[in-house]
Structure 1
């Protein structure tokens, strides 16, 4: 039997719970989440961990939240503290790439090991329930009058909602460098600021804001997708005359210094997890778009994303 066929068989058996503990790729997974609790990375990491244990691909999953600097602090901890560990995973995504471009941290994503992209999600912009504004057009009109008076709240500097805000300003004829963007280290902090009326408009993934939108505590005014999300009445930026579209993908990396065989086993484990009923339930619950990519294709994708984001952010005045 070929090695790749054997590994696929192992993954299938593990998903069915038929593998002995000694045969599993990673019996005790350590999941580094480079953000504070409550945000998209936290939700993604914990949903993946649940899928791993529910499918009996891992005995246990421990979580370590390390927020700050668009994931750079967590990346540094992961790179320096998990070398050679075949059971370590770190959640990452487009936000981390943006943060690296703007923050230029001392560690580099290339020091860790690419495993897989697993989801994509579009950002939704919301207003506090008691906002004097009603639509994105109201926000843009105020932005044109006084850019600094519109306080945008979202993830760390370089996040997709930050980039989207800069792109909205650019399309409205406003200097993107003049936008008043307030960066939060985690989704929980951003949500509190929006609910408290401490920002004019907030941006994040639909999964983070959905409960507050449903309760009427936040008013959704735009989504960054090309078409309206399935089952959603939130209008896109494009249909409101603002030609902006941007997605927020998320994935996982393994530790630095693991072998090709260990990377393959870890990748097979993650790919088996995202085929599980537990993961399918999380995807539906959080309005994620499945976007699975692994191996050399994922490597090339990350390289291309770095180049594309750097170009957009430079044009938007976000990179010095």
Structure 2
């Protein structure tokens, strides 16, 4: 039997095609591929996996995968990301203040200039504490002792050249003490630092608020100041106590090198939509993360400014050349 081909009017054909497209899921990215320059379980890992889950729950990504490449302050993961994901519109690199400092310290051949700024996400505000038994009652007491005898104040925090180390240097410089004279005691993890503060083995401890807050609330530590613009957990800021220092341990994401402006916009839009999702907002509250959203070129300018500021202090500390 002979078949008759029926041609639909052109406008009706377009309408059908449009309806089919609208019916399907409109994902900004296919599989969001995260490069995390740290081992599983740490702050960067938590940030990357939380964002990936939020992108999926917000309907802007079909799925998410994660590759952990720890070492050298995240610069090992950065190098692999730049070298293997060029032009990949689905790839994201988790970064933060620690990586900016590590780049300034280690001078790797690959830097964040080789990737594409997408978004700054949140900050874990830092806090300075002393053990509850300490005779130091305020940040003024601490800085008075630092001025009188810099070596008598031992600061416990993360690794040498970390954001914690930089904070101690910035405080010293602001009150007229040579940053090279500070007595900084580096620890490999938050547990070590907490134990050292609680045991009175260091004069003061530096960490993210979320890390020390349980000890502050229980009365085992005394919080002297936070490093943010505004109070966190009703802890006074450095600035309101006369120390002109504001610094954040922020986290963010970069896209791959070589992606198009349209692909970059799609990534930015997807990440922003993810940060508006209930799962992301719940994670912020659970982890005491402060929203710190900044996107695209503005984020890139912020990182450039941070690189200059942190790099200058690392050189003053004698950690970077």
TM-score, normalisation: structure 2: 0.78
**294-303 vs 139-148, which deviates more?**
139-148
- State whether residues 156 and 206 of structure 2, in contact with CA within 8 Å, keep that contact through their aligned partners in structure 1: yes
Change (3 A) 1:169 1:36: farther
* CA distance in structure 2 between the aligned counterparts of 1:81 and 1:239, rounded to whole angstroms: 46
CA contact (8 A) 2:146 2:172 kept: yes
Q: Bigger shift: 308-317 or 55-64?
A: 308-317
Q: Partners of 2:204 and 2:74 in 1: how far apart? A: 23
Quickly say closer, same or farther: Cα 1:190–1:51, change in 2 above 3 A: farther
Determine the structure 2 residue equivalent to 1:48.
Answer: 51
1:24 to 14, 27, 34: 27
* Counterpart Cα distance in 1 of 2:219 and 2:52: 31
**What does 1:236-251 align with in structure 2 at a 5 Å threshold?**
236-251=237-252
Residue 213, structure 1, aligned to residue 216, structure 2: yes
1:275 corresponding residue in structure 2: 276
CA–CA separation in structure 2 for the residues paired with 1:45 and 1:137: 38
Alpha-carbon RMSD across the aligned residues, in angstroms, is: 3.2
Q: Which residue of 1 aligns with 2:266?
A: 265
Q: Who is 1:3 aligned against? A: none
- Give matches, 1:272-311, under 5 Å: 272-311=273-312
Q: Does 1:166 align with 2:169?
A: yes
| The one of 73, 76, 80 aligned to 2:76 | 73
Instruction: Compare CA radii of gyration and give the structure with the larger one.
Output: 2
Distance 1:31 1:197, change over 3 A: farther
Shift in Å, 1:128: 4.4
User: Given that residues 213 and 220 in structure 1 are in contact (C-alpha distance below 8 angstroms), is that contact kept between their aligned partners in structure 2?
Assistant: yes
Q: What's the TM-score, normalizing by structure 1?
A: 0.78
Aligned pairs, number: 300
Shift of 1:261: 3.5
Shift of 1:178: 1.8
- 1-structure distance, mates of 2:104, 2:141: 31
Name which of structure 1's ranges 200-209 and 142-151 shifts more when overlaid on structure 2: 142-151
Task: Please report how far the alpha carbon of residue 268 of structure 1 lies from its aligned counterpart in structure 2 after TM superposition.
Answer: 2.0
- Give the Å deviation of 1:124: 0.9
1:86 paired residue number? 89
